[in-house]
Amino acid sequence: MTRGIWTRETVVLMLLAAYVPLALFWLWYGGTEAAQRLGLAGLVLAFWNLVFLLARAQPISLAMAITALAIAMLAPEGLGVFRLALGISFGAVMGELVFGGWGRNVVNPATVALSFLGFGFPGYPWPEFLAPVAWATIPAALIGVATGAMPAGVVTSAALAAVGAVASGLLPPAVLPAAGIVLVLLVADPVTSATTLLGRWLNGALYVGLVTLFALGWQGADPVQYAVAAALLTSLAAPVLDEMALALWYAKRRRRHGQN
């Protein structure tokens, strides 16, 4: 019997293809230090995936490469190996593996790990991104949306909302590089973002709204810090957004067809 291709690993491969430009630019400008962080994140994630493969027969997914890239790019700098490994372990295990692996998780493991590092070890500087790395988010988003692996509604509505927020002077343009990188790496994750049409549009807009709010009111925080915090809150709110969209859809159908 012939079969379609959109299995879990195909989606992962499409996402990885989307992240290639971003990762290449980041590695090019980050040098060996960036490569070392990526290697460490990959190693810790591979260890925990192996543990869960052996203990609970949970198949390993290439998605851990995406998680490794997101953590390596966005984690605070100068943490040292031990703290970084601790944060990655917490994120991978509590954010993804205990739920049954990638595809069954409710929050992005990288978001959990980054929030853990940010709240657990305040005072370490968050990374800053050079302009070329930030520009690389645009091909990443385009490839992701074109292959259908990234939710188009989330990316589009976030882009539109960001344009609106910058134009109205609420969102300082200096925040945009970090917000864009967090958008493609954490918020536009197909598993943990909203899944209904309306929910996706709300999801993207909510993320930009939260970033704007933090930029206005959170004194002394770095752009990456509040982008990650906004990503965490957005992914926690995604099921609520879906429920809202579904409730509207049910109501519309009830009006048209009577019951159900």
Can you give the binding site for other proteins, defined by CB under 8 A? 1-8, 10-12, 14, 53-54, 56-59, 100-104, 148-149, 151-152, 190-191, 195-197, 242, 245-246, 249-250, 253, 257, 259-260
Query: Shortest approach of other proteins to residue 84 CB, angstroms?
Result: 28
Local structure of 222: helix, strand or coil: coil
Cα separation values, 119 from 40, 57, 247, 260, Å: 21, 32, 35, 45
Task: Name the residue nearer to other proteins (CB basis): 54 or 167.
Answer: 54
Spatial separation of the C-alpha atoms in residues 46 and 61, rounded to whole Å: 10
Instruction: Return the number of the residue (75 or 184) whose C-beta is nearest other proteins.
Output: 184
Angle at 75 between CA 72 and CA 79, to 5 degrees: 105
CA distance 38 to 40: 5
> Given the complex with other proteins, which of 135 and 156 has the nearer CB atom?
156
Shortest distance, position 114 Cβ to other proteins, whole Å = 22
* Nearest by Cα to 141 from 156, 123, 120: 156
Supply the minimum distance, in Å, between the C-beta of residue 81 and other proteins: 29
Residue 75 gets which letter from DSSP? S
Pick the closer one to other proteins by CB: 24 or 104. 104
Dihedral sign of CA atoms 85, 87, 195, 180 in order:
negative
State in angstroms the smallest separation of the CB of 140 from other proteins: 16
In the bound state with other proteins, the residue whose beta carbon lies nearer, of 171 and 183, is 183
Shortest approach of other proteins to residue 257 CB, angstroms? 5
CA distances (Å), origin 118, targets 134, 189, 234, 243: 21, 20, 17, 30
